């Protein structure tokens, strides 16, 4: 079945361009993470990941605050 599928040249180029852009972005973010100062790392490690009220998802908390 797939023997009859013919890929156009531009489809291969778009795939390659997407991969290259993703790889460049990945390298950029890795470089930024490795070059981060110690103070920035400490600040990021102390950021809260969840709200203080774990019983309710954050969306429900936001809806309740806008109703008041």
By the 8 A CB rule, do 51 and 61 touch? yes
- What are the sequence ranges of the domains in the chain? 1-44
Highest mean pLDDT among 7-16, 20-29, 42-51: 20-29
Q: In percent, how much of the chain has pLDDT > 90?
A: 43
pLDDT in tens, 31-45: 999 999 999 999 999
């Amino acid at each position: 079945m797939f023997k009859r599928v013919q890929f156009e040249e531009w489809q291969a180029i778009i795939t390659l361009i997407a991969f290259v852009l993703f790889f460049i972005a990945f390298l950029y973010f890795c470089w930024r993470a490795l070059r981060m100062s110690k103070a920035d790392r400490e600040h990021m490690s102390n950021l809260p990941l969840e709200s203080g009220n774990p019983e309710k998802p954050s969306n429900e908390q936001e809806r309740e605050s806008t109703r008041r």
